[in-house]
């Protein structure tokens, strides 16, 4: 009896082991591979069955035929393919740097007044990169002896190797000082708020200073003067609201703008401050040009050093 029962139980177990998840004798697995980003397997096709067969990690090899090389204009990609299931993995490759070499055809040498550029060209894509080379600036040196203006003051002539001219006169050699409420000239301006200003002149309260310069070339000129803002500039006034420029009696635009503290002038010394640009017409060599600076209210802007006009390109050039 026990022997028959044992044989029956073994038979039941064997029968159960041959029954698949769909009620059949065994699982029905796909012959095609299923996969995700990490593994591959054969999936069970029986309804409601999630069994996997032969599951294993991918075994990748680089496929050079599907790779895209990165360039200096576009990214690339590396492609790896699983040798078992053919799953493909792509890895982006960033763009590479341009391969620049000197490009003489695009290079422009700087001049005394105009910026130049150096050029480089990519040997891969042909892209051209330029870098600005600052203008050389003028190399003005005194040319000959001083010229006398109508007030017998010395006006120095300067020449640059490029042919441009400049003229300068000491600020203290003014031709005329119109006395305003706080106008003065002092060998050592010694007001308590600006003892470091040094030798110079200040004009305020409606006063003005005039210089006369004999010039030899009709041209466009840039006007500059040595300037020093005292540390106690009253209210830090706007220069365009407190100063004016006249050339031969005609108003010209004042170039600098904003509070004295924004003019970029270092306190304690006279620094070149460009005030205006203007066209000068002369009918005779050595004709005097009258330059007048007005200051309309009490303030703390001192003038010293040299007043200079420099020949520059005309607006049309």
pLDDT under 70 in the chain at which residues? Answer: 1-25, 181-182, 184, 186-198, 231-234, 298-300, 316-317
Q: Are residues 189 and 47 in the same domain?
A: no
Q: Is residue 186 part of a domain?
A: yes
Q: Is residue 216 part of a domain?
A: yes
Q: Are residues 278 and 211 in the same domain?
A: yes
Q: Is residue 3 part of a domain?
A: no
Q: Are residues 237 and 308 in the same domain?
A: yes
Q: Are residues 230 and 252 in the same domain?
A: yes
Domains contained in the chain, number: 3
User: What per-residue confidence (pLDDT) applies to 225?
Assistant: 94
User: What per-residue confidence (pLDDT) applies to 3?
Assistant: 45
Q: Are residues 73 and 45 in the same domain?
A: yes
Q: Is residue 15 part of a domain?
A: no
Q: What are phi and psi of 13, to 5 degrees?
A: -65, -40
Q: Are residues 145 and 223 in the same domain?
A: yes
User: What per-residue confidence (pLDDT) applies to 25?
Assistant: 59
Q: Are residues 146 and 203 in the same domain?
A: yes
Q: pLDDT (tens digit, 9 = 90+) per residue, 237-247? A: 888 888 899 99
Gap between the Cα atoms of 272 and 264, Å rounded: 10
Measure the N-to-C terminal CA separation of the chain; round to a whole number of Å: 124
Q: Are residues 178 and 247 in the same domain?
A: yes
Q: Locate tokens 């007005």: which residue?
A: 294
Q: Which residues form the domain of 79?
A: 23-93
User: What per-residue confidence (pLDDT) applies to 4?
Assistant: 44
Q: pLDDT (tens digit, 9 = 90+) per residue, 126-180? A: 999 999 999 999 999 989 899 999 999 999 999 999 989 999 999 989 888 887 7
User: What per-residue confidence (pLDDT) applies to 154?
Assistant: 95
Are 103 and 132 a contacting pair, CB within 8 Å? no
Q: What is the CATH number of the domain that holds 302?
A: 2.60.120.260
């Amino acid at each position: 009896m026990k022997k028959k029962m044992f044989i029956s139980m073994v038979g039941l177990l064997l029968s159960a082991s041959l029954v698949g998840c769909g009620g059949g004798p065994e699982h029905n697995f796909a012959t095609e591979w299923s996969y995700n980003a990490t593994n591959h397997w054969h999936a069970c096709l029986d309804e409601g069955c999630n069994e996997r067969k032969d599951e294993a990690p991918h075994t990748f090899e680089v496929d050079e035929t599907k790779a895209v090389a990165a360039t200096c204009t576009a990214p690339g990609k590396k492609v790896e393919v699983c040798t078992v299931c053919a799953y493909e993995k792509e890895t982006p490759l960033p763009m590479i740097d341009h391969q620049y070499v000197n490009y003489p055809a695009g290079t422009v040498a700087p001049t005394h007044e105009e910026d130049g550029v150096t050029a480089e060209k990519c040997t891969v894509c042909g892209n051209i990169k330029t870098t600005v080379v600052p203008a050389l600036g003028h190399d003005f040196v005194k040319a000959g002896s001083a010229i006398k203006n109508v007030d017998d003051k010395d006006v120095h002539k300067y020449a640059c190797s490029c042919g441009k001219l400049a003229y300068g006169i000491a600020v203290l050699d003014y031709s005329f000082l119109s006395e305003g409420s706080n106008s003065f000239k002092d060998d050592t301006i010694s007001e308590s708020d600006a003892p470091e200003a040094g030798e110079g002149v200040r004009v305020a309260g409606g006063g003005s200073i005039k210089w006369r310069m004999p010039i030899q070339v009709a041209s466009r000129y840039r006007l500059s003067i040595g300037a020093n803002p005292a540390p106690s500039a009253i209210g830090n006034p706007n220069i365009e609201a407190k100063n004016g420029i006249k050339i031969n009696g005609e108003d010209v635009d004042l170039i600098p703008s904003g509070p004295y503290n924004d003019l970029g002038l270092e306190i304690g010394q006279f620094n070149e401050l460009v005030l205006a640009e203007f066209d000068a017409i002369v009918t005779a060599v050595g004709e005097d040009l009258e330059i007048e600076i007005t200051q309309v209210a009490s303030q703390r802007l001192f003038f010293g050093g040299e007043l200079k006009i420099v020949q520059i390109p005309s607006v049309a050039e």
